């Protein structure tokens, strides 16, 4: 690794014994390089993640309204946790999330895998279609929410969907603001699918291209038919590691659902995922940072448990194909 510097060292030392020195200096350089690369991110992680998490844990034990430095007499122990766990709105938000996850996780998984399989079969314009499906991933949730809300799923007669319904003589639908029937799920789920699928599709394509062709050839020799048989017995098992990782990423992304809910629907009891509810509790006029922090930690714990369980049952981290 080091060439010029050890040479200078050797000259100064004036001996023939060169071996230990360059090695030590090399180790020093390696660790210097390590810290140079890792340091900034570690510092960032400390400042923007770890410190706030610890502070939030501290705040969660206080009646911290309108303050991030509560006084000792405002100590309430686990009162905030009890409040949040019995808070109907918080419970509802967890239900909202569960419904959302039940829709979005399998749908995103199936759509992105389906797209990847189809694109993998294509013989022409591959790059074009890959880009077309990947591009929405570059769009922000806020921008997409505005397009969905103002143009496609606008509740007035000239909204795109309502214009189409109008052709069939169906009355205008208030897509987002009337929960019965819950059309808002269509808006929210379609938006997230549109943004996310392309990204996971790319991951699946990469994994598909790693599957050795000879596995298929061997299967054909043994009499397997291309299609469903090879998909279930070769493609899918070979995708296992990628599939598990994608599943976990989709689930974590679902937990972080916030942008599209807030931008599409705002603060509505029927569609308020945990992060949105905590946002309105801790920020906004309510400014209840104690309860907000308690809720955030409860949520973090839930995410950790689910992720661990998922990793355990699906074998996250196992080698591809095992």
Partner 1 sequence: MVAFRNHRPSQLSALALNRRRMLALGGLAAGAGALGACGGNTGRGSADGVNLSQWYHQYGEPGTQQAAEKYAAAYEDATVTINWIPGDYDTALSSGLLAEKQGDYPDVFEGHLNRAMVESGQIVPLDDILTDVLDDYTPDDLARNTIDGKVYGVRMIDDPQFLYYRPSLLDGAGITPPATFEELMAAAAELTTGDVKGLFLGNDDSATKLFQPIVFSAGQTLLTEDNQIGFDKDTVIAGALQAKELHESSSLLIGAPTEAWDPSSIIQELCAIQWCGLWALPQIIEAHGEDIAVIPFPAFGSGTPTVFNGGWDTFVNAGSEHVDEAKAFVKWLWVDNEEFILDWNLSYGFHIPPRLSMRGGAEQLADGPAAEAVRISEEFGWAENPNWTPTMETAVDDMMTHIVLEGNDPSTEFDNAVATIQGELDGIFG
Q: Which of 89, 95, 252, 301 binds partner 1 (CB under 8 A)?
A: 89
The two tokens of residue 128 are 């074009």
Stretch that binds partner 1, among 124-132, 152-160, 207-215, 241-249 (CB under 8 A): 152-160
Q: Which of 65, 190, 235, 310 binds partner 1 (CB under 8 A)?
A: 65
Please identify, using beta-carbon distances, which residue of 35 and 220 lies nearer to partner 1: 35
Rounded to the nearest whole angstrom, what is the least distance from the CB of residue 68 to partner 1 in the complex?
6
Stretch that binds partner 1, among 113-121, 211-219, 263-271, 294-302 (CB under 8 A): 263-271
315 binds partner 1 (CB under 8 A): no
Q: How does 70-108 read in b/e, with b if 16+ C-beta sit within 10 Å?
A: beeeeebeebbbebbeebeebebbeebbeebbebbbebb
One character per residue 34-63, x = contact with partner 1 (rule: CB under 8 A): --xx-xxx-xx--x----------------
269 binds partner 1 (CB under 8 A): yes
Burial class (CB in 10 A: 0-12, 13-18, 19+), 142: exposed
Angle at CA of residue 18, ends 16 and 21, nearest 5°: 140
155 binds partner 1 (CB under 8 A): yes
Q: Which of 175, 199, 200, 261 binds partner 1 (CB under 8 A)?
A: 175
As a whole number of angstroms, the distance between CA 120 and CA 206 comes to 10
Please identify, using beta-carbon distances, which residue of 2 and 245 lies nearer to partner 1: 2
- How many residues sit in the footprint of partner 1 (CB under 8 A)? 49
Q: Which of 13, 28, 33, 218 binds partner 1 (CB under 8 A)?
A: 33
Please identify, using beta-carbon distances, which residue of 198 and 292 lies nearer to partner 1: 292
The two tokens of residue 2 are 């080091």
Please identify, using beta-carbon distances, which residue of 177 and 194 lies nearer to partner 1: 177
Rounded to the nearest whole angstrom, what is the least distance from the CB of residue 159 to partner 1 in the complex?
7
1 binds partner 1 (CB under 8 A): yes
The two tokens of residue 199 are 């990204």
Please identify, using beta-carbon distances, which residue of 65 and 120 lies nearer to partner 1: 65
As a whole number of angstroms, the distance between CA 321 and CA 307 comes to 21
Rounded to the nearest whole angstrom, what is the least distance from the CB of residue 170 to partner 1 in the complex?
12
Q: Which residues bind partner 1 (CB under 8 A)?
A: 1-4, 26, 32-33, 36-37, 39-41, 43-44, 47, 65-68, 88-89, 150, 153-157, 159, 171, 174-180, 265-270, 280, 283-288
């Amino acid at each position: 690794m080091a060439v010029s510097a050890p040479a200078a060292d050797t000259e100064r030392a004036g001996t023939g014994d060169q071996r230990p020195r360059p090695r030590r200096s090399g180790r020093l350089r390696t660790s210097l390089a390590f810290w140079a690369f890792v340091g900034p991110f570690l510092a960032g992680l400390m400042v923007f993640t770890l410190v706030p998490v610890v502070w939030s844990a501290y705040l969660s034990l206080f009646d911290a309204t309108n303050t991030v430095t509560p006084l000792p007499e405002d100590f309430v122990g686990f009162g905030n946790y009890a409040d949040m766990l019995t808070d109907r709105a918080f419970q509802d938000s967890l239900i909202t999330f569960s419904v959302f996850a039940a829709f979005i996780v399998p749908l995103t998984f199936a759509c992105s895998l389906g797209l990847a399989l189809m694109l993998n079969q294509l013989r022409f314009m591959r790059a074009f279609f890959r880009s077309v499906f990947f591009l929405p991933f570059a769009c922000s949730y806020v921008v997409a929410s505005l397009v969905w809300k103002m143009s496609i799923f606008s509740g007035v007669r000239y909204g795109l969907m309502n214009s189409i319904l109008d052709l069939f003589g169906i009355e205008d639908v208030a897509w987002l603001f009337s929960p019965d029937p819950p059309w808002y799920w269509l808006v929210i789920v379609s938006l997230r699918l549109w943004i996310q699928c392309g990204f996971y599709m790319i991951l699946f394509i990469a994994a598909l291209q790693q599957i050795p062709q000879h596995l298929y050839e061997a299967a054909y020799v043994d009499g397997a038919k291309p299609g469903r048989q090879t998909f279930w017995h070769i493609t899918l098992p070979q995708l296992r590691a990628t599939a598990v990782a994608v599943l976990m990423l989709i689930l974590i992304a679902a937990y972080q659902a916030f942008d599209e809910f807030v931008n599409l629907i705002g603060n509505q009891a029927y569609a308020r995922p945990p992060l949105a509810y905590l946002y309105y509790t801790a920020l906004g006029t309510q400014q209840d940072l104690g309860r907000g922090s308690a809720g955030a930690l409860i949520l973090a714990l839930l995410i950790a448990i689910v992720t661990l369980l998922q990793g355990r049952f699906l074998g996250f981290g196992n080698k591809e194909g095992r």
